[in-house]
Structure 1
């Protein structure tokens, strides 16, 4: 059951994933993992992966170019080997990084009856098992197009959940449930200025483990600031 405010609006708790619920970037770490395991040409891949990560942090990332790069390993491996590799990735990288603080925050919203969703700029292949590990039912991630064989093509399907696209995808998600922004009460947790569009759209923006720019903006605007874990 979804809890409500006095005006009976359903309450939604929305979370960015990387550096918000996790103290790492799952997209970047997946790339590094594939390099370490020899699933891609390691040295050149790791260098390019780092370059793309810096572009993301700077807000200059070409998401279409990046997605072709980021899906290279899984496209070459195919479904069975890719899923096996991801299981290793979860065990070696993601599960040890899930903190008690993050789980407690999710549990607080779950116990309150809030509808919980992850809204992330990382692709669905990387993030679907992570959402399951966090026991979060709803995931809005970058959807990946599929080729004639039914496996990922390396291209983006639809509007990516990145920057302003997060607002667009959330509006679509709400509409599919016969909701809109005015009929729900929304809280959104994020670490990054890349998410400023959605932070400005929700009822309660929470700068979570924020970068320096977002921390300053949140202080200026009187937004809540939450540090779930120390910055690396």
Structure 2
């Protein structure tokens, strides 16, 4: 005789998305160059450098060595910056600079995952207070991002947690253990080979607008390759979408965005110089 049938709950699942060039068409941090110039944090020369860095990033992204140089530079750059000043600038400009560059294909994919019952998690090297409001805009359930140390309302220049490479995968595994995600049934999306550990952590990895190295890896492993090319305002996709209805979000550590905006070009100059220019192009705050 058969025993009683037990109702075994299905394991939870999630879709993990890198942010820059995967969900949005540009670098989330470099995009804030102009607002920070208008707010007096950086000067015109830094804005021009930021524009060039964005151009280079869009052409080929940033490899491991370039990312490490940016991290070292931004640690020095943000030391002593007033958090409240940066918070106010970003709060006023984030919808204007980020909303128009969200990929329509990514927004649709996020909706599909939600309809399938999966959580959506944004995993980004950008600062947490940049990533979290962007995640809220696109309907993400959780975010994993870099966190900086703040003391007495100012940045110390130290990084508490750097969401990059293997540490992204570690954070995903920790979140999966806490939330009960079955990673073998989860999805991940990224454009960069530096996110290979993140893609390897799930059962269904996808390369999105991949750099050359990731495209090669995807081909050798039989991973799907997606092409996103249609940035669109959320208001155009969802007529009822109202920016004013969104809750206010604290942007305490978002100065990291400004830091990378200026630092993004430093790796280019450092190729030709023995030492980087510390603080070049900045105004004292």
- TM exceeding 0.5: yes
Distance 2:129 2:224 in 1: 31
Greater displacement, 61-70 / 99-108: 61-70
Distance 1:45 1:70 in 2: 15
1:107 — aligned with what?
111
Contact 1:14–1:116 under 8 Å retained in 2 = yes
1:222: how far off?
A: 0.7
Contact 2:150–2:156 under 8 Å retained in 1 = yes
Q: Which of the residues 27, 30, 43 maps onto 1:28?
A: 30
Distance 1:66 1:32 in 2: 20
Q: Which of the residues 107, 122, 132 maps onto 2:126?
A: 122
> What TM-score comes out, normalization by structure 2 length?
0.67
Contact 1:22–1:98 under 8 Å retained in 2 = yes
1:132: how far off?
A: 0.9
Contact 1:35–1:43 under 8 Å retained in 2 = no
Deviations 1:11-67 (A, max 9, x none): 110000000000111022224542355321331465379669769712112264243
Q: State yes or no: 1:67 paired with 2:74.
A: yes
1:57 — aligned with what?
62
Distance 1:171 1:212 in 2: 27
1:190: how far off?
A: 0.2
Q: State yes or no: 1:78 paired with 2:83.
A: yes
RMSD: 2.9
Unaligned ranges ≥5, structure 1: 1-5
1:103: how far off?
A: 1.4
1:3 — aligned with what?
none
SS at match of 2:186: strand
Distance 2:107 2:225 in 1: 18
Contact 2:83–2:153 under 8 Å retained in 1 = no
Contact 1:28–1:50 under 8 Å retained in 2 = no
* Alignment map for 1:180-191 (pairs within 5 Å): 181=183, 185-191=185-191
Distance 2:218 2:207 in 1: 6
Distance 2:139 2:97 in 1: 18
> What TM-score comes out, normalization by structure 1 length?
0.81
Pair member with larger Rg: 2
Unaligned ranges ≥5, structure 2: 1-7, 232-285
Moved over 4 A (4+): 48-56, 178-181
User: How many residues align structurally?
Assistant: 219
1:18 — aligned with what?
20
1:226: how far off?
A: 0.8
Contact 2:81–2:155 under 8 Å retained in 1 = no
1:179: how far off?
A: 5.5
* Alignment map for 1:193-208 (pairs within 5 Å): 193-208=193-208
Q: State yes or no: 1:228 paired with 2:228.
A: yes
1:155 — aligned with what?
158
SS at match of 1:38: coil
Distance 1:71 1:111, change over 3 A: farther
Deviations 1:149-191 (A, max 9, x none): 1443332113x2101110111122223335574xx62210000
Distance 2:189 2:77 in 1: 25
Greater displacement, 26-35 / 220-229: 26-35
Distance 1:174 1:35, change over 3 A: same
